[in-house]
Structure 1
Amino acid sequence: MKKFTFIKIILLSLILFFLQNCTLFNLSTGSEKSTLGEVTNYTPEIKNLPAPRDKIVVGVYKFRDQTGQYKAAENGASWSTAVPQGTTTILLKALEDSKWFTAIERENIGNLLNERQIIRSTRKEYSGNDSNDASGLPPLLFAGILMEGGIISYDTNVMTGGIGARYFGLGAGAQYRQDRITVYLRAVSTSTGEIIKTVYTSKTILSTSFNGNFFRFIDAERLLESDIGITQNEPVHLAVTEAIEKAVLSMIIEGVRDNLWTNKQTSPHDFDKIIANYSSEVKLNDARLIGNKFPSQQRGKMSVFGNVEAFKIKGDYVNSKLNIGGKVGVKYFITDNLNAEVNLSAVTLENEGILKRSVLMSEVNAEYLFLPKFKFSPFVYTGVGSFFHPAKTVYKAQVGGGVEYLISPNFALRAMSQYDLGFTDDWDDYVNGKRKDMGVRFGLGLNYYFGAKNIKK
């Protein structure tokens, strides 16, 4: 009894230590001081643009959320908006950071005019004999261009998915969700009312969740259960800011390209490289897929791969063991989705104290990749194979599946599982009953893609 009490004290101490040190998972256990706002990927780009020949006086009356969407709520209704309502302020900040525009107050022009009237009245009332110039104020700037537009869509659940596994009370999983926000920005000439330029940008918003749990009966009366998880949501405010900054950057570059405004030429071609890079992005964007996925992420026509795999025989003997082996192979894509695969693997058939034999297996598979132009894609495959038994060649079929993630245009990480279906019952040199011998395997691997990208669809 004393021993069990001591164990309980140790376990409780470890749990308290873990909870008090949640900063290991970037979880705050106390209040944090205020900081400056984060910057986006495009903030340095608009700040480092070459200077304009003359700044453009621009007014923004209203740049608002035009979606009218409210936040999704699991229980009941939510009256909080899905998109921040201060987007006019975000646009003005981006225009200021670019140093290409002189932004003037138009969103709350009534407040400005009232304050100027108060100044005139006060000066006139208390100026005494110097009332001739008491009410004089500098004239207000007028805008040569108005910036109009807004956030026109907020699409939720553009892509969702997850992966998980559980074995003998121990499990882990991950889920993700991708939303998308879309911004339109247009420049309007105040002298003619002409819309001289319109740009359109979008930004995905990613939410991810990771969790793990442990569930095990220690004995007939005691249960040990543990859970851990973390969820991270990309701030909508930063996504809106990045989309607006990208729109401002596009507006400036396209305006210089189309001779709507000019930059101060500190060197003969200081803007040419920026325009060339932007034109390349526009050309690539013409074939862009929904969800901010680009054709450059498409797999090549061929690939070679290597996997580390754990194999376990399911035969007639008991106490089968999981052993680590490997697989190498080559794939040839017939279409974007379908490829043919040939591979060679080394596995170990083992039942503890009874059988242990290392063999080579060869397989031919047909694999279907569900999302070939996306970084993350599930896949399934099936085929036939054989392994070289000391006395004969044994044939089998296999079926499997998994997920793949492109970490670069050529390299992809893979996680897979496979079930080997035997045609005979003598893998372990023992025939017993009608059930054929089988095998199960799990693997992690690396795929290298190469060859022409423009393959048959």
Structure 2
Amino acid sequence: MRATILLLTSAFILSVLTACSGTMRPMHTEPATHGTVSKSYHSLKQLPEPEEKIVAAVYRFRDQTGQYKPSDRVASWSTAVTQGATSILMKAMEESGWFVPIERESISNLLNERQIIQNIRQQHSGGQAPQPLPPLLFAGVMLEGGIVGYDTNVITGGLGARYLGTGGSGQYRKDQVTIYLRAVSTQSGRVLKTVHTTKSIVSQQLDSGLFRFIDTNRLLEAETGYTYNEPPVMAVTEAIDDALKQLILEGIEEQVWTARDYDEVLAYREQFNYEKKKEEQLKRDYFGMIDRPELRGGWSFGTNASIGSVIGNYNNPDINPGVSLQIERAINSTFSFRANGQRTRVSAPSAYSNPVNSAELLLNAYITPRYSLSPFVAAGGGAFIFDKKFDDISEQIFPFVALQAGFDYRFNNRLGMNISTSYRYLLIDGLDGVSFGKFNDQHWGVNAGVTWRPGFLN
């Protein structure tokens, strides 16, 4: 009887899972659409017209990295980047309006087909000489190069928090692909011009979940998430489009080829130089990160909102809000002095509740000071100062040593924001009104706020 019940129960569960699995299928399929274009496509299409189109050949624009897709579980023989870069380059040449692309990647197939045509014509010529095929176009320029680098995990990072089974997290990863493109004269073999471009590939993942007991033997679990992966083939396409645009413009500048309307070239070049200068001012490093040595120099002011609590002799101290003001003076791009003044409250239910001020001086160190986002650590000292000497507090001033760590983000040279956690160890016990135990009272806090750098003080 028991076996029969287990069998029926298993069959019921299996039927429910089978029915539910059907609802997880896609509701519809998506129709085929036109291919997605890169961000450089429109500027490539707007290039000035050439005085005469260049007959150009591409034998093979190939992947020279030799890399395969990384896999943690099994060996993968799938390549990391597309093997169809030749087709992408040929399409870009056609869209630019500067080249007459001729087929060379499958030249053997083309010659075989021409031979077939010639043989058929001869068989059906009736003894007369067959009409010859027109000659093949020959290239004045060959475009060579390839995908020379695909670097994975150039930058990785993430952030997450979880409290009582509820929380979320985010992760990101940055890869980058590098291509080289050169134009070669078919008459002399001279390399006329070489350019290279680098394009980043960003992957992001956000997820959150809930896992907690809502009642005895009742567990609630929920998860949601979102993942974004930039297609590597689009990164290669954008890098090739941008490289071809640079090749054409620099070739015009060095008189390798000419445009029909030079005034149009000057206008286009002015816009191109403006964008290039703006990009160069960002001073990107090898990781593609923007290098700004002046971000955290001079004087800056900030205001923070915070929550914090005492770690002392009471098991259930309150978590109280607070507000603080800070002044920071940079020593160099890495180190700075920071003075904080805070107003908050220390309390425990039915025990004590007193407003308190704190003042501290910290030596601050930024881990990546030249980038917009930088972790930081700080150490120093200060004191809690009560408004007056309360009856349940033995002292009015309680000195402490302080540690702080967090993240600082600068939108520009003037405005930024930060989030941090702080820890203070008191040198005198009794902040909660009780002097007892092996360790003195402590205080923790979580802070978030904004930073402002006035231009007239830097």
Same-fold call, TM cutoff 0.5: yes
Amino acid at match of 1:246: D
Where do 1:356-435 residues align within 5 Å? 356-391=353-388, 392-408=396-412, 410-435=414-439
Say if 1:255 and 1:446 are closer, same or farther in 2 by CA, change over 3 A.
farther
- For residues 35 and 236 of structure 1, the distance between their equivalents in structure 2, rounded to whole angstroms, comes to 19
Query: Is the Cα–Cα contact under 8 Å of residues 204 and 291 in structure 1 kept in the other structure?
Result: no
- Equivalent residue in structure 2 for 1:345, among 333, 339, 342: 342
TM-score by length of 1: 0.84
- For residues 338 and 356 of structure 1, the distance between their equivalents in structure 2, rounded to whole angstroms, comes to 37
CA-to-partner distance for each residue in 1:354-413, whole Å, 9 max, x for gaps? Answer: 333333322222222111233332221122222331233332222121223444454333
Query: Is the Cα–Cα contact under 8 Å of residues 381 and 400 in structure 1 kept in the other structure?
Result: yes
Tell me what 1:321 maps to. 318
Tell me what 1:7 maps to. none
Alignment of 1:288 onto 2:292:
no
- Name the SS of the counterpart of 2:340 in structure 1: strand
Say if 1:282 and 1:321 are closer, same or farther in 2 by CA, change over 3 A.
closer
Count of residue correspondences: 428
- Name the SS of the counterpart of 1:295 in structure 2: coil
Say if 1:239 and 1:279 are closer, same or farther in 2 by CA, change over 3 A.
closer
Amino acid at match of 1:389: F
Say if 1:306 and 1:37 are closer, same or farther in 2 by CA, change over 3 A.
farther
CA-to-partner distance for each residue in 1:289-322, whole Å, 9 max, x for gaps? Answer: 1211232485141333332222222233343222
Say if 1:146 and 1:364 are closer, same or farther in 2 by CA, change over 3 A.
same
Shift of 1:245: 1.6
- Equivalent residue in structure 1 for 2:226, among 226, 230, 245: 230
Say if 1:400 and 1:58 are closer, same or farther in 2 by CA, change over 3 A.
same
Tell me what 1:73 maps to. 71
Tell me what 2:442 maps to. 438
Shift of 1:98: 1.8
Say if 1:356 and 1:103 are closer, same or farther in 2 by CA, change over 3 A.
farther
Query: Is the Cα–Cα contact under 8 Å of residues 249 and 269 in structure 2 kept in the other structure?
Result: no
Query: Is the Cα–Cα contact under 8 Å of residues 59 and 143 in structure 1 kept in the other structure?
Result: yes
- Name the SS of the counterpart of 2:235 in structure 1: helix
- Name the SS of the counterpart of 2:138 in structure 1: coil
Tell me what 1:105 maps to. 103
Query: Is the Cα–Cα contact under 8 Å of residues 300 and 410 in structure 1 kept in the other structure?
Result: no
List runs of 5+ in structure 1 lacking aligned partners.
1-18
Query: Is the Cα–Cα contact under 8 Å of residues 292 and 371 in structure 2 kept in the other structure?
Result: no
Shift of 1:89: 0.9
Say if 1:292 and 1:167 are closer, same or farther in 2 by CA, change over 3 A.
same
- For residues 150 and 73 of structure 1, the distance between their equivalents in structure 2, rounded to whole angstroms, comes to 25
Name whichever of 347-356 and 95-104 sits farther off.
Answer: 347-356
- For residues 357 and 21 of structure 1, the distance between their equivalents in structure 2, rounded to whole angstroms, comes to 58
CA-to-partner distance for each residue in 1:144-171, whole Å, 9 max, x for gaps? Answer: 1111111111111112222222222223
Alignment of 1:250 onto 2:254:
no
RMSD: 2.9
- For residues 135 and 358 of structure 1, the distance between their equivalents in structure 2, rounded to whole angstroms, comes to 103
Query: Is the Cα–Cα contact under 8 Å of residues 201 and 246 in structure 1 kept in the other structure?
Result: yes
- For residues 450 and 28 of structure 1, the distance between their equivalents in structure 2, rounded to whole angstroms, comes to 55
Say if 1:390 and 1:141 are closer, same or farther in 2 by CA, change over 3 A.
same
Query: Is the Cα–Cα contact under 8 Å of residues 60 and 144 in structure 2 kept in the other structure?
Result: yes
Shift of 1:450: 6.1
Alignment of 1:143 onto 2:139:
yes
Amino acid at match of 1:385: G
Name whichever of 336-345 and 239-248 sits farther off.
Answer: 336-345
Shift of 1:81: 0.6
Amino acid at match of 1:308: A
Alignment of 1:336 onto 2:304:
no
CA-to-partner distance for each residue in 1:58-97, whole Å, 9 max, x for gaps? Answer: 1111111011111111112011111111011111122222
- For residues 23 and 333 of structure 2, the distance between their equivalents in structure 1, rounded to whole angstroms, comes to 48
- For residues 99 and 409 of structure 1, the distance between their equivalents in structure 2, rounded to whole angstroms, comes to 42
Tell me what 1:64 maps to. 62
Query: Is the Cα–Cα contact under 8 Å of residues 323 and 344 in structure 2 kept in the other structure?
Result: yes
Shift of 1:234: 1.4
Query: Is the Cα–Cα contact under 8 Å of residues 300 and 451 in structure 1 kept in the other structure?
Result: no
List runs of 5+ in structure 2 lacking aligned partners.
1-20, 389-395
Say if 1:270 and 1:387 are closer, same or farther in 2 by CA, change over 3 A.
same
* Percent of residue pairs bearing the same amino acid type: 37
